[in-house]
Structure 1
Amino acid sequence: MSNPFLTPRRAMILECLLIVGLACVPLFATFPYRVNIFLSWEGAYRMSEGQMPYRDFGMPLGYGYWIVPALFFKLFGPQLISLVKAQVFLNIVGGLSFRYILQQMRVSPGVRLLSVIVFVLSYSFVNFWPWYNNTVIIYQLVGLAFLFRGLGSGRWKWPAIFLAGAFTFLSFFTKQDGGGLALLLALALLGYHSLNARRWQELAAFLGSYVLVACIFIIPAAQYGFGYWFNHGQPPHSSRLALMDFIDVFLMESQWIKFYFALIVILMFPAIKNIRSLWQNRELMLFLLLTVGILVEATLFQVTSYTPPDNNIFFHGFAIAFIFSRIYDISAIRFENLKPFLLTAMAILLWWSASYYKYIQRILSQLSHTEEVAAVPGGENVVNRHNFMVNLDTTDVPTGKWTFSSLPEFRKIYMPPSTVAGIDRVMALPEVKKGKDAKVLNLTELTPLDHAIGYTQETGPEVPLWHHLGVAMFNKQLAAYTERVRNKHYDLILYEYAPTLNNFFPWALRNELQQHYRKIDSFHAPRRPTNAYIEVFVR
């Protein structure tokens, strides 16, 4: 191939510009309040204030997820927008790790750049808020990048193996299901390497580093009820492992995963003809194991972490990288040449247009002032895709009418006008004027009010990080809160009533509040649809 458009250096520059450039786009945007982001803020805030997980608050998973957001709170302050900045950093780390994995797989520059485009558009660009179902994958990617470096040679071999074990554990200590699958995939890759090379040092070193880092994180927390809080399927937690759920979701859904599986099988036909030769082809076998492992992980992860529904879309970039590499190997197509690269890149941009069009749509919607139902001569009933359904939800407030709070904790985040006005009324309450001496129980999504009010938070091994009954708090904690409410321990209680969510904030506690406290205010919760309410109770 003479004078290709994509030289290795040019591809590297374009990949890095793409990863960093698209990751930074959210820094220049404003955002509606994100559903469930309250627990991200709360964990990051508590840790940034020096509170120790399990000693000062409990949660049903490890605290690996909150390490980066807590650091960004220390750097930029406990604002919601600091969480976006933390995710920018994580997206850059994830994108560079993905790129390095493909580099270690000796993927050609053209295929690698196209795969990076798919990865960024399909996965990282749409994740501009941090979430543990995303961070668990970021840590896994970092661990895999170090693992493949450690399976090579050179002076950084053993430090890379150690870091592979450390980040793979951090993945597990962020979310048990994704992190456990990350460990199994790493062991599969190390198992093949050990059998193929007939040496076990790398496997032993990886396991040793994994156990060592696990001990460093877990032993200090063991005396504070770590076994009670950390969910490994034991009571009061419930397991999400149900065979029929896996079968149903895989066979009735998972269209892209099954499509990729089929393509991989077809493209592997030439190599499967000689199994022994395939086994000895170390690069191809590791790449195949990695890709199939990622697809299997995505299949299981979509069941165990079922909300939001796009948690598992990290697999597209890996699948495309393997499929394009096989096409590259068995055909005359060279993606380093300008025409094949541009045509394929344009097809990818069209394929993932939903990722970036939402930013364009936001601008277009501000420029367009068309009515949903235009008046026509004769008064005909015009039915179209915008109005064929009748919206009977009288509580809904379109995000176009949302506005901003004056509190710095909510900077660049817009919410329903009712929420903003309600926050202002809360901040004017005499109970709030007590500041750090106020006794406040915040059972809402508006956790940044913790810092805005400035009260001293409750701490202890029995205090849950968030108040989702049956997930992050249990009957034991509910009983303790109930007793405090009956004794009128708190000056101010903020409760979120979400009737369509199954006991997300315990309904039994609301019944106690109605008996022992006085409700003085109610306003919209910052979610869509706006059918949940923040209720304000005082003694």
Structure 2
Amino acid sequence: MKRILSYSEILVIVIIAMVPVFASFPYRINIFLSWEGAYRMYTGQVPYKDFGMPVGYMYWVIPAMFFKIFGPQLITLIKAQAFINLLSGLAFRSIFKSLGVQPGVRFSAVLVFCLSYTFFNYWPWYNHTVIVYELIGLAFLMKYIFSPASKWKYASLVASGFFIFCSFFTKQDGGGLALLICLALLGYLALTEKKWLPLVIFAGTVFITGLAFILPVTGTFGYWFNHGQPPHSSRMSISDILRDFLAGSQWLKFYLFLIVLLLMVAIKNWKEFWLNKQQMIFTLLTLGILAQAAIFQVTSYVPVDNNIFFHSFAFVFIISLLSLLLPIKFDSWKPVIICAAGVLLWWSHVYWRYIDRFVLKGSGESYTTMTHEGHTYANVVNRNTYMIGLDTTDIPLDQWRTPKLKSFEKVLLPNPTVDGIERLMNMDLVKNGKNLKVLNMSELTPLAAEIPYELERGPEYPLWFHKGVGMFDKETNMFINRIQNKHYDLVLFEYIPYLNNFYPFKIREALQANYKKVDVFVAPRKPSSDAWVEVYVKP
């Protein structure tokens, strides 16, 4: 049974990680950043020297490696994420294998992890990659803590320090919290076992890894690495963290309540519990993950489910405690199957939409539609039709298609967006121009490989243009000056009126005053496409 469950865990991890590789996908909001950072590193550009950014560069390392292998297409990002998901699932499994969690409980936990955290993360994003590096670091740390003594034991500790810095050098908030969790676990061991060397080795590894990653780019590193300039502001707010936790966070508070309740029953003697290394490490890890999730949801608020990794950790801890307190043993098939079925029912919303769309397609109700003041509505009022959609700019997915460009292979964009790209590619300036100077402030960054044009570089040049996040007043003024001096032959500017300076409005004003707008088409955004890509040329 143990061997079958072990193979089943790996099978679940591999299947859920690899399925997206064989599908086509609609263009995802913000994926332009993943592509451009990986593309710049793929072409040999050096972070902080050839382009600046307010985070570490480890997020782009794996996508850039996959660009080298498969080419700089958007679909390559899906392949890179499949690899990242594979690593995350195996790391999660390894953590609880080292902790000695029963195979039946561990299988159900892997199922929760894959459904809740892997299944819908098929595009790479730094708020996900930072947690994956953390999981790998925790896996090595658990292996060090619970493996028998050997000459290779400290190699796991060094590997843990390396990957925890990789996490920190992907995103500071998640990686910093991961570092604190590891320090807390090693601090507990130092207190109980009176051995401080492991803590020193781990901290030293993190520090040395940091030097190795930072010294080669030290010239502009301090400016860009979440330092910025006025009006840069911190995302860390105690009041926001308390507000989000107390006004929301139902699952976090529910798990915390259950854990405290179960620990009150399970702990018979506090001293014995404190000295039980397996139980204490398990408890500290789980509580640390819950604390991290409570903070992470505030400091990394896009998308809203960034912190959803906590479900699987809370689940495995609670079920493990229940198996000790109740006459439920996960060493037979019946409880394992029931638990797995319960997990599938619990997370059915993740996969049901695909069953509904592809297996039960066409089984829904059909209505006669009517029109009133330009809005279409059904002649029947029920739970599916009582709201009338007023967003006339939204484009249904059945009206999306793939551009005939290599970089967009197997990626769907709205038909008007594709039409606009085709008009752009057929412009005389684009077809006949050589060494074009292009400013692409849009989500269509793969056009750099299609037009093509050389990406501007320099330590002052931001990787992305979100004001207050990727660029500040200094960089905004730099682009305004270049526009006023007619530096660019072609400018693409994405106007998103409902986002606050996602692309700085002042730059658009400068374009309208100094350049000629020759085309405009729908931006590749969903659910709302109330955004446009504007094409400007020199007057």
Amino acid at match of 1:38: F
Q: Secondary structure at the match of 1:313?
A: coil
Within the candidate set 44, 48, 55, 1:54 is matched to: 48
* TM-fit CA distance, 1:387: 2.3
Amino acid at match of 1:90: I
Larger deviation, residues 361-370 vs 388-397: 361-370
Listed as ranges, the matches of 1:205-244 within 5 Å are: 205-223=201-219, 225-232=220-227, 235-244=230-239
Correspondence for 2:194: 198
Correspondence for 1:127: 121
* Unaligned stretches of 5+ residues in structure 2: 371-376
* TM-fit CA distance, 1:11: 1.5
Q: Secondary structure at the match of 2:493?
A: strand
Correspondence for 2:473: 475
Correspondence for 1:537: 536
Q: Distance in 1 between matches of 2:352 and 2:243?
A: 32
Q: Secondary structure at the match of 1:62?
A: coil
Larger deviation, residues 315-324 vs 263-272: 263-272
Q: Distance in 1 between matches of 2:506 and 2:449?
A: 27
- For the pair 1:504 / 2:499, whether they are aligned, the reply is no
- For the pair 1:77 / 2:71, whether they are aligned, the reply is yes
In the superposition, relative to structure 1, how do residues 226 and 367 fare at CA in structure 2: closer, same or farther (>3 Å)? same
- For the pair 1:113 / 2:107, whether they are aligned, the reply is yes
- For the pair 1:279 / 2:278, whether they are aligned, the reply is no
String of CA shifts for 1:350-408, please: whole Å, max 9, x gaps.
11012222322331475457545569xxx994212232122222211112211111111
String of CA shifts for 1:126-150, please: whole Å, max 9, x gaps.
1111100000000000000111112
Correspondence for 2:452: 454
In the superposition, relative to structure 1, how do residues 413 and 369 fare at CA in structure 2: closer, same or farther (>3 Å)? farther
Correspondence for 2:173: 177
Amino acid at match of 2:131: I
Q: Distance in 1 between matches of 2:434 and 2:253?
A: 55
Within the candidate set 344, 352, 360, 1:357 is matched to: 352
Conserved? CA contact 1:57–1:461, under 8 Å: yes
Correspondence for 1:288: 283
Correspondence for 1:154: 150
Q: Secondary structure at the match of 2:474?
A: helix
Correspondence for 1:3: none
Conserved? CA contact 1:404–1:415, under 8 Å: yes
Within the candidate set 331, 334, 353, 2:329 is matched to: 334
In the superposition, relative to structure 1, how do residues 103 and 516 fare at CA in structure 2: closer, same or farther (>3 Å)? same
Q: Distance in 1 between matches of 2:496 and 2:123?
A: 23
In the superposition, relative to structure 1, how do residues 278 and 23 fare at CA in structure 2: closer, same or farther (>3 Å)? same
Within the candidate set 7, 18, 22, 1:13 is matched to: 7
Larger deviation, residues 337-346 vs 95-104: 337-346
TM-score (norm 1): 0.95
Q: State the number of aligned residues.
A: 529
* TM-fit CA distance, 1:433: 2.4
* TM-fit CA distance, 1:288: 0.2
Correspondence for 2:82: 88
* TM-fit CA distance, 1:430: 2.0
In the superposition, relative to structure 1, how do residues 20 and 372 fare at CA in structure 2: closer, same or farther (>3 Å)? farther
Q: Distance in 2 between matches of 1:234 and 1:163?
A: 35
Q: Secondary structure at the match of 1:467?
A: coil
String of CA shifts for 1:30-69, please: whole Å, max 9, x gaps.
1111000000000000001110000000001000100001
Q: Distance in 2 between matches of 1:447 and 1:233?
A: 24
Amino acid at match of 1:537: Y
Q: Distance in 2 between matches of 1:479 and 1:295?
A: 42
Conserved? CA contact 1:373–1:387, under 8 Å: no
* TM-fit CA distance, 1:8: 2.2
Conserved? CA contact 1:233–1:239, under 8 Å: no
Q: Distance in 2 between matches of 1:61 and 1:266?
A: 39
Q: Secondary structure at the match of 2:445?
A: coil
Within the candidate set 46, 61, 64, 1:67 is matched to: 61
Conserved? CA contact 1:497–1:534, under 8 Å: yes
In the superposition, relative to structure 1, how do residues 357 and 146 fare at CA in structure 2: closer, same or farther (>3 Å)? same
Q: Distance in 2 between matches of 1:233 and 1:108?
A: 48
Correspondence for 2:292: 297
Amino acid at match of 2:536: F
Q: Secondary structure at the match of 2:519?
A: strand
Q: Distance in 1 between matches of 2:229 and 2:237?
A: 15
- For the pair 1:167 / 2:159, whether they are aligned, the reply is no
* TM-fit CA distance, 1:261: 0.6
Correspondence for 1:139: 133
Within the candidate set 298, 307, 312, 2:302 is matched to: 307
String of CA shifts for 1:151-207, please: whole Å, max 9, x gaps.
232232111111101100010000010000000000000000111111011100000
Larger deviation, residues 102-111 vs 330-339: 330-339
Q: Distance in 2 between matches of 1:331 and 1:380?
A: 53
- For the pair 1:189 / 2:185, whether they are aligned, the reply is yes
In the superposition, relative to structure 1, how do residues 285 and 462 fare at CA in structure 2: closer, same or farther (>3 Å)? same
Conserved? CA contact 1:271–1:278, under 8 Å: no
Correspondence for 2:485: 487
Conserved? CA contact 1:372–1:387, under 8 Å: no
Q: Distance in 1 between matches of 2:96 and 2:406?
A: 42
- For the pair 1:263 / 2:261, whether they are aligned, the reply is no
Q: Distance in 2 between matches of 1:160 and 1:370?
A: 57
* TM-fit CA distance, 1:270: 3.2
TM-score (norm 2): 0.95
Amino acid at match of 2:34: S
Q: Distance in 2 between matches of 1:90 and 1:442?
A: 29
Q: Secondary structure at the match of 2:211?
A: helix
Conserved? CA contact 1:87–1:130, under 8 Å: yes
In the superposition, relative to structure 1, how do residues 406 and 198 fare at CA in structure 2: closer, same or farther (>3 Å)? same
Correspondence for 1:4: none
Q: Distance in 2 between matches of 1:125 and 1:162?
A: 31
Listed as ranges, the matches of 1:379-528 within 5 Å are: 381-434=379-432, 437-528=435-526
Conserved? CA contact 1:522–1:535, under 8 Å: yes
Larger deviation, residues 330-339 vs 522-531: 330-339
Q: Distance in 2 between matches of 1:238 and 1:380?
A: 48
Amino acid at match of 1:24: M
* Unaligned stretches of 5+ residues in structure 1: 1-6
Q: Distance in 2 between matches of 1:383 and 1:249?
A: 36
Amino acid at match of 2:93: R
String of CA shifts for 1:311-351, please: whole Å, max 9, x gaps.
00001111111111111112221123122111111111011
Conserved? CA contact 2:81–2:123, under 8 Å: yes
